Amino acid sequence: MQKIIAIHSYLWSGLTQNRSPTTKVLRMVVCSCNRLTHKDVEAAVADGATRPREIYAARNCKAQCGNCVKGVVCLLREARLKHMKKAEVPAHMVPAAAGVALSA
């Protein structure tokens, strides 16, 4: 699994480094059989996908040769973490309940 993550990181860094602000963001193709990109994975996670099968279903396809599944799982985990971090509300943003002291 570490080898897959290392390859994913290498490929991803190639897409993101040395970009000027006007450079168009590229899409990393994760599954060439179905033309599934990292943006498709992120969109499916935002819509509630939690398993690779749900990622493929969001694009009305399924894994063909299977070479992409490990990469999809890696991106799925990464996208879920990113999505959960966005959903977290900082403590100072949560309204205090009436009559409950925040400090002792």
- CB atoms under 10 Å from CB of 42, counted, come to 19
Domain range for 52 is 25-87
Q: Is residue 37 part of a domain?
A: yes
The per-residue pLDDT for 67 is 92
Residue 81 lies in a domain: yes
Inside any domain, residue 32: yes
In CATH, what number is assigned to the domain containing residue 37? 1.10.10.1100
> Could you tell me if residue 73 is inside a domain?
yes
State how far Cα 80 lies from the chain centre.
6
pLDDT digits (tens, 9 = 90+) for 8-26: 554 554 454 555 555 566 8
Q: Across the chain, where does the E strand assignment appear? A: 29-31, 36-37
- Looking at the structure of the chain, the number of domains it has is 1
Domain-embedded: residue 15: no
Q: Give per-residue pLDDT as tens, 61-82.
A: 989 999 999 999 999 999 888 8
d(CA 81, CA 96): 27
Residues ≥6 apart with Cβ < 8 Å to 56: 34, 36, 62, 63, 72
